Amino acid sequence: MPDTLESLAVPGTEIAVRVTPKASRNMVKVEGGQVRVYVTTVPEGGKANAAVQKLLAKALGVAKTRLTLVRGQTSRDKVFRLEA
């Protein structure tokens, strides 16, 4: 259970996120040990996944190319792996 996003910025870490598409604004929150990502993008054609990847990378302070979507391509619950 992460308290802050910075504690997750370790290569090899798998980060479980809950995504809310079509939100009023883009933001990343840690609520009750769960990472929640809110994106304004619609979930079609992978647009929301790309927006989540970009926003999560910025919050972690890493390049978006270092984040790989492992599970949840079409789900609101996703798992990203931070590559070295």
Asked whether the whole model's pTM tops 0.85, one would answer: yes
Structural domain contains residue 1:
no
State the CATH number of the domain containing residue 49.
3.30.1200.10
Per-residue pLDDT of the chain (84 residues; tens, 9 = 90+): 456 777 777 888 899 999 999 999 999 999 888 999 999 999 999 999 999 999 999 999 999 999 999 999 999 999 999 998
Domain that holds residue 69: 6-82
Amino acid identity at 20: T
Question: What does the alpha-carbon distance between residue 59 and residue 2 come to, in Å, rounded to a whole number?
Answer: 14
Q: How high is the pLDDT of residue 6?
A: 74
In a domain, 22, yes or no: yes
Q: How many domains does the chain have?
A: 1
pLDDT at position 28 is 94
- The answer to whether the Cα torsion of 57, 51, 45, 33 is positive or negative is positive
* pLDDT score of 3: 62
In a domain, 50, yes or no: yes
Residues near 10 by beta carbon (within 8 Å), at least 6 away in sequence: 82
Question: By three-state DSSP, how is residue 48 classified?
Answer: helix
Question: Which residue is it, tokens 């009750």?
Answer: 32
